[in-house]
Amino acid sequence: MNRTRLVFVAVILLAIGIVGASYALRGAGGQPLEPQKQQKIEVRVACALPVEPWVRQAADKFNAEGHKQDGAPITVQVIAVDGLTARSRFERGDFDPLPTVWIPDSRYLVELANLTLRQKQGRDVFLTDGEYRARPIAVSLFAWGIYSSRAKVLQAKYGTINWRTIHDAAIAKGGWPELGGQASWGYFKLVVPNPRRNVGGLAAMVAAAGEYYGKTRIGVDDVTNPQFQAWLGELMGAVTDFSSLSAYSAEDLALFGYSMGDGGQLLESDLLTHMAGIQARWQEPMLIIYPDYITWFDFPFTIWMGPETTAAEKNAALQFEQYLLTPDVQRQAVMQGLRPVNSDVSLDLPDSPFTKWKDQGILQVVPRSSAMRSPDRDTLDALLRWFDLNVMQR
Amino acid sequence: MKLSPGQRRRTSQASRIAERRRLVAMTGAAAALAVLAGACIVIALAVRRPAASSAAQPSLRVAYSPESQALLGELLAEFNKTHPKSSSGKAIQIELVPTWPDQMARSAVAGEVQAVCPDSSIWLGDIDAAWSEQAGNTGPLVGETVRFAISPVVIAMRQEVAGSLGYPGKRIGWTDIIDRARSDSQFSWSHPSTSSASGLLATLAEFYAGAGKTRGLTVEDATAEATLKYVAAVEATVKHYGEGELATVEQQLAGGDQRLDAFVVQEQLVVYYNSRSEDKLVAVYPAEGTLWEDHPLALLELPGLSPEAREAFAAFAAFLKGDQAQAIVLHQGYRPADLSIPLDSQGSPLVAANGVDPRQPETVLQVPSSAVINVVRDVWWYTKRHTNVILVADTSGSMDGSKLEAARQALAAFLDSIKGDQERVGLVEFSTSIVRVIPLAELSQNRQALQVAIQDMEAGGDTALLDAVSNAYSQLQELGDQERINAIVVMTDGRENASRTRLSQLVTRIKDGNSRGVPIVIFCIAYGHDADRNVLSTIAKASGGQVRGGDVGSIQDLYKIISTYF
C-alpha cells in the first residue's frame, strides 16, 4: 500500500470514527451541538370534566399565542379528571407528575382535599386567600333535563317537577301508563350520575336530601336517617344502570336517549352542550326546569402551593388564570353553556345556547331560589358509603 | 553538495528507515483509528439496541371483544396510517388482544393489558370488583373511558316469523319469544352464552320474566325455585348456544341445517346480515326493554402505567371520536358516538330496508348490580339446556409426538371450559379399533376420570374414523335423550383406512337417525394437513354440524370454541 492510499484510508477511518463517536454520543442521550434553548415552563391543569373542553380550547389558543413568564415560554397541558377522583388522587399522592393547577367542580372539594393534606403537609396546599387563592373561572347549576314528551305527562299529573314528584313517578308500579304516558316507555327511568365517577351524582343526592328535609344545609344525621335512606333507595331504584353510566351523564342521556333515562337533575352546561345532539338523534328536545333548591358548581382555579411548584410555575399559572377570565375566553365559556364570572360578558350572545334554547325552558336569570350549602366531609362520605352498600350492591 | 557512496548509502538507509517509521506510524494510527471507529460503531449499536427493542414493544395493549374485530381492525389500520407519534417522537403502536368479555377482568388485574374494549360497560364493574379483591381499597382500576360506537341488543327474527307474531303492528317482547318457543316445537331460536353482553342480556331477560319483574332483580329473585324452573323451561327450547353473535350470523348466512327463526344479536349484525342476504331479518326491540352494547374503550389505572401508554390511549381515543373514524363506525352499521351525525344521513345503513329503526329502543331493562349478574351467570350453568357430548379422539400412529400432546391439552381445556357439572361427557378413542374409554356420564361423576384418560392417551395403529363416529352416534341414539343437546366432537389427523362402515352408510344412518330419532350434531376437527376434510365435511353436513381446521398451535382454542356450543 503506498503512502497516498494509506493517507486516504486514514482520512476515511477518521471520518468514520468521528461519525461513529457522534452517533454513539447521540444514542447515549447526548444532545447535538445546538445553541441551548430557554427552558419552557409547563403548567399542568387537572381539570373537572364539565369545563375541560372549554379550558382545553383556551389552553390550545394560549399555547399558540406564545405567552412567556420571565422570558421563558409557557405551555399549558390539560388533564381531564373528575373532581372526586382528583381529590382522592391528591390525597393518595397518586399524581405523577403533580398538577400545577386543579380546577375541580366545586370549592368544597378543595376544602376537603386541604383537610386531608393539611395533616400530611402541615399546611394548606390550596389557598383560600391571597394572590394565589382559589378563584372561580365559570359557574353552572343543576337543573332538571327531561325529554319533553315525558315532562309534559309529569307536569300534567303532578303540576310541578321536583325530587318529591320524581320519587312518586319512580315508585309507580304500573310505570308510564300509570302516570298517563305510553306503555312503550316502560317504567319511569331516572338519570343520576354514578357518584364514584362523577361528583354530579353526589350533588344530586345532596339536592334530593335538601328537598326531602326542606333545608339547604345537610348533615350526617340527615343522610343516615333510615326513613330518608329508604326514600332515597326508592328513588335510586329508578336508575336503569349505574355500571354503564360514564362520567358524562348528559352525554349518556343524549347517546342512549329516552331508552335509558327519561330525565334527571344534571349540570345545566352539560345539558346545553347536548341539546342539539339530543334533538338530532332522538328527534325530541329536552325540557329544562329549574329546581327550588339549587346546587352551584363554581370551578375554582386552584394552584398547588407545595414545594413541588416553582415560583415561575405559580406565576405562569396565574397568567393562564387571567387569560381564562378575559372577555373573549369567557364568551367561549358561554358558547359551551357555562355562565361567565366576568361581569362584562353577557349570556345574551348571538348563537349562545342560553338564547337558542329559551323555548325549552333555559333562563338567563335563575329564578329566586335557595342555594344548597356544601356538605361537610363526613356527610359526603356517609352518602358515598350508603350508595356503595345499597345501590351498587343491590 | 556531493555525497560519498557511503554517505549516500547511509542517507538512503536513513530515508528508508524514516519511510518505514512513517509507514509504521501511519499504519498504527490507521489501525488505532480503525479500532476507535469500530469501537464507536459497536458502542453506537449497543446503545441503539435497547431503543430498537423498545420500539418493538407496543405502546398500549388493548383487550377487545372478538365480535368487534372488523370494526376495531379497520379503525386501527386507519389510525396507523396517520403514523401517530408520542410527544417524545416515538411511534405509537397499539396491539389489539382478542379476549372474551368475561375473561377481561382476569387479564386486566394481571396487568397483561393497559386498556380494555369489551362489548358493553356492564363488564367494567367486574374489572373494578376483581381489582378491589386483589389490590384492596386503592380506587377503581377502570380509568378514563370513551365511547365511539354503540348498538342496542335486539332479537333478530326472520321477517315471516316476526309477521306471525304480529310485527310490525304489535310490540314483541321476550315473553312472546319464550311463549312461542314453549308452545311450538318447530320454533328454533338461540342466544349466545353469558360470555357476551347479548347472551347475558337474553339470560337476564329470562330471569326478569321468571321473577315477574322488569326492574329491581335481586339475588333472592334470581335463585328462587320458581324463577329457576321457569328459566330452565325456557332454556330447554334453545336449539344450541354458540361461540358468539357474529359466528351465529355467519352460520345463518352460510345456510345449512342450523337455520334459526330468531337469535339474539346487536343491531349492527342485523344490518350486516341484511346487506349480504336476500332473505331478510328484522330487528325486534324487546317491549320489556333491552341493553346497549356501548363498546367502551377504557384505560386501566395500573400502578406504574407508563406515560407512553397514556399518550397512546389519548391519541387512539381522540382518533376514534374523530370524523374519519365516526364515518367508519356508521358505515359498519353501528350508531356513532358523535351526536352531530344523523343516523338517517345519506348512505347510512341504519334504515328500515335493513330491518332496523333508529328511533328505537324506547326502554331498557334495568341492569342489576355486579353481584346479581354474577349469580345469574353462575346459576345459568344449571338452568341452561344441558348436553350429552361424546369426544371422539384419533390416537392412530400418525398422532405420535407433539400432535398428541397438543390434543391432550386441547381436550383438557375443553373440559375446563364446561363449567356445569350436570353436562354429560364421554370419551371414545380410535385407531385400528374403537375403545369407549369413559362412558357418557355427568361431569360431577367422571370429570376426574376423563382428565386421567386424556393424559393416558397413546398413539399407535390405523385410522378407523367412520367406525368411531358410528359407535358414538349409536351411543347417543340408544340413550334417546330429547331434553338435552346431543353432540359428537370428532378429531382426526389422517385418512380413513380401517373401518368396516362405509361413508355412504354412515351418512344415511345419520340422516335417518336425526329425522326419526334424536337429533345429533357432529362437530369435526380436521387436525393438520393430512386430515381428510372431504369425509369430515360430508359427516358434519349430514348432521347439521361444522368442520373446523386446526393444527398443533390452534387445536386448544378450537376445542374451547366448540365448548361454547354446549
Rounded Cα–Cα distance for residues B178 and B157 (Å)? 14
Compute the nearest-CA separation of B394 from chain A (Å). Answer: 47
Bridge partners of B547, per DSSP, are B524
- pLDDT tens digits, residue range B357-382? 999 999 998 888 878 888 998 888 88
Query: What does the pLDDT average to over B182-200?
Result: 87
- pLDDT tens digits, residue range A222-239? 999 999 999 999 999 999
Compute the nearest-CA separation of B120 from chain A (Å). Answer: 8
Query: What does the pLDDT average to over A347-372?
Result: 91
Chain B: residue nearest A240 by CA? B366
**Cβ contact, residue pair B362, A6, below 8 Å:** no
Higher pLDDT, residue A159 or B51: A159
**Cβ contact, residue pair A281, B288, below 8 Å:** no
- pLDDT tens digits, residue range B393-403? 999 999 999 99
Q: Is the CB of residue B51 less than 8 Å away from at least one CB of chain A?
A: yes
Rounded Cα–Cα distance for residues A146 and B145 (Å)? 25
Q: Is the CB of residue A189 less than 8 Å away from at least one CB of chain B?
A: yes
Compute the nearest-CA separation of A323 from chain B (Å). Answer: 25
The per-residue pLDDT for A35 is: 42
Residue in B27, B296, B362 nearest the CB of A185? B362
Residues A266 and A386 in one domain: yes
Least confident window among A324-333, B124-133, B233-242 = B233-242
- pLDDT tens digits, residue range A84-114? 888 888 888 878 889 999 999 998 888 888 8
Q: Look-up: residue for cell 361444522? A: B546
Rounded Cα–Cα distance for residues A312 and A314 (Å)? 5
**pLDDT band with cut points at 50, 70 and 90 for residue A308:** confident
Other CB atoms within 10 A of residue B51 CB: 10
CATH number of B386-563: 3.40.50.410
- pLDDT tens digits, residue range B448-480? 999 999 999 999 999 999 999 999 999 999 999
The per-residue pLDDT for B237 is: 85
- In three-state secondary structure terms, B244 is coil
CATH number of B60-150+295-336: 3.40.190.10
CB B455 within 8 A of CB B408: yes
CB A139 within 8 A of CB A310: no
Other CB atoms within 10 A of residue A8 CB: 12
Residue in A13, A89, A278 nearest the CB of B33? A13
Residue in A13, A241, A260 nearest the CB of B30? A13
Residues A370 and A226 in one domain: yes
* Mean pLDDT score across all residues of chain B: 88
Q: Is the CB of residue A156 less than 8 Å away from at least one CB of chain B?
A: no
- pLDDT tens digits, residue range B21-60? 665 555 555 555 555 555 545 444 444 443 334 445 789 9
Least confident window among A377-386, B47-56, B420-429 = B47-56
Rounded Cα–Cα distance for residues A347 and B455 (Å)? 76
Cβ partners under 8 Å of residue A122, min gap 6: none
Q: Is the CB of residue B52 less than 8 Å away from at least one CB of chain A?
A: no
Rounded Cα–Cα distance for residues B258 and B523 (Å)? 13
Q: Residue A12 falls within a domain, yes or no?
A: no
Domain residue ranges in chain B = 60-150+295-336, 151-293+352-380, 386-563
Which candidate in B339, B374, B376 is best for mutational testing of the A interface (most A CBs within 10 A)?
B339
Query: What does the pLDDT average to over A361-377?
Result: 87
Chain B: residue nearest A273 by CA? B339
Residues 265-294 of A with CB under 8 A from B: 274, 276-278, 280-283
The per-residue pLDDT for A28 is: 45
**Cβ contact, residue pair A243, B363, below 8 Å:** no
The rounded Cα B348 to chain-centroid distance in angstroms is: 28
Compute the nearest-CA separation of B37 from chain A (Å). Answer: 4
Q: Look-up: residue for cell 334533538? A: A279
The rounded Cα B89 to chain-centroid distance in angstroms is: 35
**Cβ contact, residue pair A277, B363, below 8 Å:** no
Residue in B34, B47, B214 nearest the CB of A28? B47
**Cβ contact, residue pair A3, B26, below 8 Å:** yes
End-to-end CA distance of chain A: 91
**Cβ contact, residue pair A256, B150, below 8 Å:** yes
The per-residue pLDDT for B49 is: 40
The per-residue pLDDT for A121 is: 79
Residues A56 and A165 in one domain: no
Residues A86 and A170 in one domain: no
Higher pLDDT, residue B111 or A200: B111
Rounded Cα–Cα distance for residues B488 and B485 (Å)? 10
The per-residue pLDDT for A82 is: 86
**Cβ contact, residue pair B215, A240, below 8 Å:** yes
- Listed as own residue / partner, the contacts of A253-257 with beta carbons closer than 8 Å and 24 or more positions apart are A253/A145, A253/A191, A253/A278, A253/A286, A254/A278, A254/A281, A254/A282, A254/B339, A255/A281, A255/B147, A255/B150, A255/B294, A255/B337, A255/B339, A256/B150, A256/B292, A256/B294, A256/B364, A257/A147, A257/A281, A257/A282
Question: Would you state the cell numbers that stand for residue A258, as one nine-digit string?
Answer: 329516552
Contacts of B47 in chain A (CB under 8 A): 24, 27-28
In terms of Cα–Cα distance, which of A47, A51, A46 is closest to A268? A51
Contacts of A393 in chain B (CB under 8 A): 369-371
Q: Residue A117 falls within a domain, yes or no?
A: yes
Domains B60-150+295-336 and B151-293+352-380 in one fold: yes
Q: Is the CB of residue B36 less than 8 Å away from at least one CB of chain A?
A: yes
Q: Residue A58 falls within a domain, yes or no?
A: yes
- The stretches of B57-186 forming alpha helices (DSSP H) are 69-81, 104-109, 124-135, 159-164, 174-183
The per-residue pLDDT for B29 is: 54
- In three-state secondary structure terms, B305 is coil
- pLDDT tens digits, residue range A203-221? 999 999 999 999 999 999 9
Residues A261 and A283 in one domain: yes
For residue B296, pLDDT over 50 is answered with yes
**Cβ contact, residue pair B36, A244, below 8 Å:** no
Residues A48 and A129 in one domain: yes
Q: Is the CB of residue A48 less than 8 Å away from at least one CB of chain B?
A: no
Q: Is the CB of residue A27 less than 8 Å away from at least one CB of chain B?
A: yes
Amino acid at B454: I
The per-residue pLDDT for B255 is: 80
Rounded Cα–Cα distance for residues A328 and A342 (Å)? 10
**pLDDT band with cut points at 50, 70 and 90 for residue B12:** low
CB A172 within 8 A of CB A221: no
Q: Is the CB of residue B212 less than 8 Å away from at least one CB of chain A?
A: no
The per-residue pLDDT for B181 is: 86
Q: Is the CB of residue B77 less than 8 Å away from at least one CB of chain A?
A: no
**Cβ contact, residue pair B41, A16, below 8 Å:** yes
CATH number for position A218: 3.40.190.10
3-state helix, strand, coil in chain A (%, to 5): 50, 15, 35
Percent of all residues in chain A with a pLDDT value above 70, rounded to a whole number:
88
Query: What does the pLDDT average to over B496-525?
Result: 94
Q: Is the CB of residue A186 less than 8 Å away from at least one CB of chain B?
A: yes
For residue B75, pLDDT over 80 is answered with yes
The per-residue pLDDT for B227 is: 93
**Cβ contact, residue pair A241, B367, below 8 Å:** yes
Length of chain A: 394
How many domains in chain A?
2
DSSP 8-class letter at B113: -
Compute the nearest-CA separation of A37 from chain B (Å). Answer: 17
Residues A244 and A383 in one domain: yes
Contacts of A197 in chain B (CB under 8 A): 140
The per-residue pLDDT for B144 is: 84
Query: What does the pLDDT average to over B554-564?
Result: 84
For residue B547, pLDDT over 80 is answered with yes
**pLDDT band with cut points at 50, 70 and 90 for residue B13:** low
Rounded Cα–Cα distance for residues B152 and B267 (Å)? 6
**pLDDT band with cut points at 50, 70 and 90 for residue A16:** low
Q: Is the CB of residue A56 less than 8 Å away from at least one CB of chain B?
A: no
Q: Residue A87 falls within a domain, yes or no?
A: yes
DSSP 8-class letter at B85: B
CB B104 within 8 A of CB B63: yes
Cβ partners under 8 Å of residue A227, min gap 6: none
**Cβ contact, residue pair B364, A240, below 8 Å:** yes
Compute the nearest-CA separation of B563 from chain A (Å). Answer: 29
**Cβ contact, residue pair A185, B370, below 8 Å:** no
**Cβ contact, residue pair A280, B22, below 8 Å:** no
Compute the nearest-CA separation of B66 from chain A (Å). Answer: 20
Residues A121 and A176 in one domain: no
- In three-state secondary structure terms, B301 is coil
**pLDDT band with cut points at 50, 70 and 90 for residue B178:** confident
Q: Is the CB of residue B216 less than 8 Å away from at least one CB of chain A?
A: yes
Residue in A13, A94, A256 nearest the CB of B37? A13
* Pairs of residues, one from chain A and one from chain B, whose beta carbons lie less than 8 Å apart: 157
The rounded Cα A6 to chain-centroid distance in angstroms is: 72
Cβ partners under 8 Å of residue A19, min gap 6: none
CB B541 within 8 A of CB B554: no
Other CB atoms within 10 A of residue B206 CB: 25
Residues A220 and A282 in one domain: yes
In what helix (H) or strand (E) does residue B44 lie, and over which residues does it extend?
Answer: helix B5-56
Rounded Cα–Cα distance for residues B144 and B115 (Å)? 10
Cβ partners under 8 Å of residue A59, min gap 6: A45, A76, A77, A78, A320
How far, CA to CA in Å, does B382 sit from each of A238, B188, B189, B236, B387?
A: 30, 21, 19, 11, 11
Residues A318 and A279 in one domain: no
Residues A274 and A252 in one domain: yes
Bridge partners of B400, per DSSP, are none
The per-residue pLDDT for B419 is: 83
- The number of C-alpha atoms within 13 Å of B308 and in the hemisphere containing its C-beta is 16
The per-residue pLDDT for A159 is: 95
| Model pTM score | 0.79
The per-residue pLDDT for B268 is: 97
Residues A107 and A59 in one domain: yes
Query: What does the pLDDT average to over B192-209?
Result: 87
CATH 3.40.190.10 for domain B151-293+352-380: yes
Q: Residue A259 falls within a domain, yes or no?
A: yes
Q: Is the CB of residue B118 less than 8 Å away from at least one CB of chain A?
A: no
Chain A: residue nearest B43 by CA? A24
Question: Got the DSSP string for B185-196?
Answer: TT--EE---TTS
Q: Is A296 left (phi over 0), alpha (psi -120 to 50) or beta?
A: beta
- pLDDT tens digits, residue range A20-62? 555 554 444 444 444 445 688 999 999 999 999 999 999 999 9
What are the E-state strand segments in A115-258?
A: 135-136, 138-147
**Cβ contact, residue pair B41, A240, below 8 Å:** no
Question: Got the DSSP string for A1-70?
Answer: --HHHHHHHHHHHHHHHHHHHHHHHHHTTPPPS-PPPPPPEEEEEEE-TTTHHHHHHHHHHHHHHT-EET
Query: What does the pLDDT average to over A158-173?
Result: 95
DSSP 8-class letter at B90: P
B/e letters for B536-555, b = 16+ CB within 10 Å, e = fewer, are bebbbbbbbbbbbebebebb
Which candidate in A22, A56, A82, A240 is best for mutational testing of the B interface (most B CBs within 10 A)?
A240
**Cβ contact, residue pair A9, B30, below 8 Å:** yes
Q: Is the CB of residue B215 less than 8 Å away from at least one CB of chain A?
A: yes
Q: Residue A35 falls within a domain, yes or no?
A: no
DSSP 8-class letter at A280: H
**Cβ contact, residue pair A274, B339, below 8 Å:** yes
Domain containing residue A376? 140-297+359-392
Q: Is the CB of residue A177 less than 8 Å away from at least one CB of chain B?
A: no
Q: Is the CB of residue B210 less than 8 Å away from at least one CB of chain A?
A: no
The per-residue pLDDT for B16 is: 60
